[in-house]
Amino acid sequence: MTKILDGLPASEGIAFGSVRVLDWSIPHVPRRVLAPDQVEGEVERFHEARRDVSEHLNRIRQEAAERLGEMEARIFDPQLLMLEDIEVVDDTVRYITEHHLSAAQAFHWRMLELQQQWRTTANPMVLDRLNDVEDLQVRLLHKLLGLPVPHVWEEEDGGPIIIVGRNLTPSLTIQMDPDRVVGLATDLGTRTSHWAILARSLGIPAVVGLVKASRTVAGAEEAIVDGRIGRLIVDPDPRDRNVYEDRKVRLQGWEEELAQISRLDAITLDGHPVALRANLDLPGEAVKASEHGAEGVGLFRTEFLVVGRRAMPGEAEQYEAYRHLAESFPNQAVVIRTFDLGGDKFPMFLNMPAEENPFLGWRAIRVCLDELDLFRPQLRAILRATAHGDIRILLPLVNDVEEVVRVRELLGEEEAKLKADGIPFSSAYKLGILVETPAAALDAAELARHSDFFSIGTNDLVQYTLAVDRTNAKLADLYNPFHPAVVRQLHQVARVARAAGIEVSVCGEMAANPLGAFLLVGLDIRALSVAWPTLPEVKKVIRSFRAEDARTAARKALAAPTSSDVTHCLVEGLGSAVDLSAFSGRWSLSLPS
């Protein structure tokens, strides 16, 4: 019988495959007390195992650098450093020498202690670190106990497989061959987990937050991963299979037509062009985005240069990343969002306080304006990149005009310093804000006087408008971008931007949803930015309707009393131009039956 498990989307795409349950667990560590003359040898064995694991991880890191880029490879640095950390090494050695524990037991105990210390916080960055620690435990303990390290996807030749596990780790993910491992599904994890970042870079569809998927599957069943809506379907019935197969065939067709589609304009049937740009998390994704036909970058999430790192990337490193983007998209907009740290993205080095409500806490522009040592080098690096293209600066989570004014002051100061140092930049850059709180949407007219452009962040706008945590899989059905309160804010912001003569775009996931794109174009929003793998699909959708019909549907949607009425107006307006069946069943398209 079909089992449908809903979690959260973490990496785009649809995958069919045979389930393999990942057994990446900490092995049983037997109790063993050493004789005094064994102590020295055991310490040496620990160091040897540590060196072996370090060499192995360095090879994996090297592979990551070759496959994805140096920036992506840095995700492994904290794990490598942990193997040298005195807190880990010295105390393990002390347990061996003072308590005569075996190396395996001493290391295991020390790791449990550290995990216990860190576990007191719900901070997702720390949870990721715990996950890194667990990965080390699995590797090192297998080595010390003489057990083979499990490797589920190399066990046999054969068809495509979907890995289902409690959680994954960067070192496991990077070793996956996307031709063989076609989908990932985990009980834990978030979109910002380090391994999920790598899955996106590798183009492997992934779903996280499935709670008990690893206990629900037996292994070897057929399954479908839908990384668009965050769903795992185990043993799909013929209907589900057909729906997804159809969609996959279409997506594959588009992949094959990619070169052709990427050259086509994103333009509605009645001739209204839409600037269709890409959302990027890492600079290495620029090539793919360009191949998929992106007309520039609508959102570069710079905080991914920081997450998983032990130290802040310096100005020079950031400059190289921003410049790379500018050079990858000559004569096209490259929108660089300043660090959106906090919420679900915490760097280890900032010592961010544990907060009751991180999404309502010290986040985004609030952090940057308080931590000028972090913010000024970023502004300088972005300014320097303006010499190489149409760089636009985007400020996240702005509520107040004062925040924009303060950033302009800081930019002015940094420009003066660059000038004095003789470092080239262009002062023709634009400074805009992410409209992602109801406060910003309601106060858009005032903010427009101080902004060169607006980008609407519907991912956060929906969460803050509806008071629904975007990372809570349990609330996924309530997280509805077609709620009338959201639609009215979109309308209001678009109207204000038009009146002020500034560009308004949307860079939240809503823009990648066929009904979302239809509604946004109907609200006269003519720039959309979406995750790069969805570009061809969204472009097809845009090319399949008339902007005039979208306007009519948007007008009706604005008068609709409920979310399902909004959806209904849009489905009706879009007509049969786009097959929506594969999107049904979640908020993403609560299709009227």
Catalytic residues: 194, 507
CA distance 5 to 26: 26
Say which entry of Mg ion, ligand PEP, none residue 12 contacts (CB below 5 to 8 A, set by partner kind): none
Which of 187, 460 has the CB closer to ligand PEP?
460
Please, what is the minimum distance in Å from the beta carbon of residue 345 to ligand PEP?
8
Beta carbon of residue 338, minimum distance to ligand PEP (angstroms, whole number): 12
Burial class (CB within 10 angstroms; exposed 0-12, middle 13-18, buried 19+) of 275: middle
* Contact footprint for Mg ion (CB under 5 A): 436, 457, 460
Q: Which is nearer to ligand PEP, 195 or 479 (CB)?
A: 479
Partner whose binding site includes residue 432, from Mg ion, ligand PEP, none (CB under 5 to 8 Å by kind): none
DSSP run (H or E) holding 206? strand 206-208
Question: Whole-number minimum distance, CB 352 to Mg ion, in Å?
Answer: 17
Distance CA 46, CA 103 (A): 6
Over the window 404 to 443, marking each residue x when it contacts ligand PEP by CB under 6 A and - when it does not, the resulting string is --------------------------------x-------
How many Cβ atoms sit within 10 Å of the Cβ of residue 586? 19
Judged by CB under 6 A, does residue 525 bind ligand PEP?
no
Q: How far apart are CA 338 and CA 322, in angstroms?
A: 11
E strand or H helix at 531 = strand 527-531
Q: Which is nearer to Mg ion, 6 or 460 (CB)?
A: 460
Minimum distance from residue 337 beta carbon to Mg ion (Å): 9
**Nearer of residues 137 and 455 to ligand PEP, judged by Cβ:** 455
- Provide the token pair at 289: 């985005």
| Residue 60, token pair as written in the block | 């994996």
DSSP tag of 580 = -
CA distance 277 to 274: 9
Residue 537: which of ligand PEP, Mg ion, none does it interact with, CB under 5 to 8 A by kind? none
Q: What CA–CA distance (Å, rounded) separates 217 from 473?
A: 19
CA separation for the pair 185, 20 (Å, rounded): 10
Q: How far apart are CA 57 and CA 241, in angstroms?
A: 39
CB of 301 to Mg ion, least distance (A): 9
Question: Counting beta carbons within 10 angstroms of the beta carbon of residue 211, is it exposed (0 to 12), middle (13 to 18) or buried (19 or more)?
Answer: middle
Name which position in 17, 209, 389, 457 contacts ligand PEP (CB under 6 A): 457
Q: Does 459 bind ligand PEP (CB under 6 A)?
A: yes
Q: Does residue 355 come out as left (phi exceeding 0), alpha (psi in the -120 to 50 range) or beta?
A: beta
Complex with ligand PEP: residue 347 or 508, whichever CB lies closer? 508
To ligand PEP, the closest distance from the beta carbon of 297 in angstroms equals 12
Nearest approach in angstroms of CB 256 to Mg ion is: 34
Comparing CB distances to ligand PEP, the nearer of 20 and 363 is 363
Nearer to ligand PEP, 141 or 523 (CB): 523
Q: Which residue is nearest to ligand PEP (CB)?
A: 457
Find the binder of ligand PEP among 7, 230, 508, 585 (CB under 6 A). 508
Q: Which stretch binds ligand PEP (CB under 6 A): 405-413, 457-465, 473-481, 582-590?
A: 457-465
**Opening angle at CA 561, ends 560 and 562, nearest 5:** 100
Binding letters toward ligand PEP, positions 334-353, x by CB under 6 A: ------x-------------
Query: Which span (46-54, 113-121, 402-410, 456-464) binds ligand PEP, by CB under 6 A?
Result: 456-464
- Stretch in the footprint of ligand PEP (CB under 6 A) among 176-184, 215-223, 350-358, 454-462: 454-462
Residue numbers 274-333 binding ligand PEP by CB under 6 A? 299, 301
E strands present in 218-344: 222-226, 231-234, 275-280, 297-301, 333-337
Choice from 458, 465, 534, 590 touching ligand PEP (CB under 6 A): 458
- Residue partners of 335: CB distance under 8 A and separation at least 6: 277, 296, 297, 298, 299, 300, 392, 393, 394, 432, 455, 507, 529
Residue 585 has what DSSP assignment? Answer: T
Considering beta carbons, is residue 72 or 460 the nearer one to Mg ion?
Answer: 460
- Would you tell me which residues interact with ligand PEP (CB under 6 A)? 299, 301, 340, 436, 457-460, 507-508
